[in-house]
Amino acid sequence: MNRIVHPIEQESFRRLRARLDTSHFPPLTRAVVERVIHSAADLEYASDLVMDEGDLERGRAALHAGAPVVVDVEMVAAGITRRETVCRLGEAVSGPGLTRSAHAVRLAHEQVGPGALWVIGCAPTALEELLALDASPALVIGLPVGFVGAAESKAALRESGLPAVSNVSEKGGSAVAAAALNALLYHPVSAEETS
């Protein structure tokens, strides 16, 4: 099923490309960079995002093969289109040394096991908990936002060696995390990939 792109979105991407040359990025990296910038109207993401094209290719393949998508908060889930997600925050509880977000990650990991795509756009503690688990993710989109722990949790993600999309600064959030996953959902699938 082809996605119909609204004229406003087409014009937005035209203006983005008029202000920023993204042609030097590999295809999926370009798709993620452009969609994240589009979601935040923030051109600085072009130099702030960190990702590997091979990781994106493998993550996209897992996504299109039906791998579960786990999100840290419902706001991320609301931004992901054309795909069901798992969010266990509503059932999670905090405790000594454990935030609700971290507990939700534990619950989701118990549910989905290895090979999932994890999209974290709100809570640094969710990303920290994911890194503490032996989750074997297909891809981690780790873009939590905030002044406490966000940049540090994303640095830890990059140091972990897990396949990931992250950024260096404290910026992030639900909209940009969802946008990064949507870029992989929307990118055209070739005939070779479906055969």
Q: Which residues are catalytic?
A: 38
DSSP 56-121: HHHHHHHHHTT--EEESSHHHHHH--SS--B--GGG---BTTB-HHHHHHHHHHHHH-TT-EEEE-
Token pair, residue 188, equals 């055209």
Distance from C-alpha of 2 to C-alpha of 85, rounded to nearest angstrom: 21
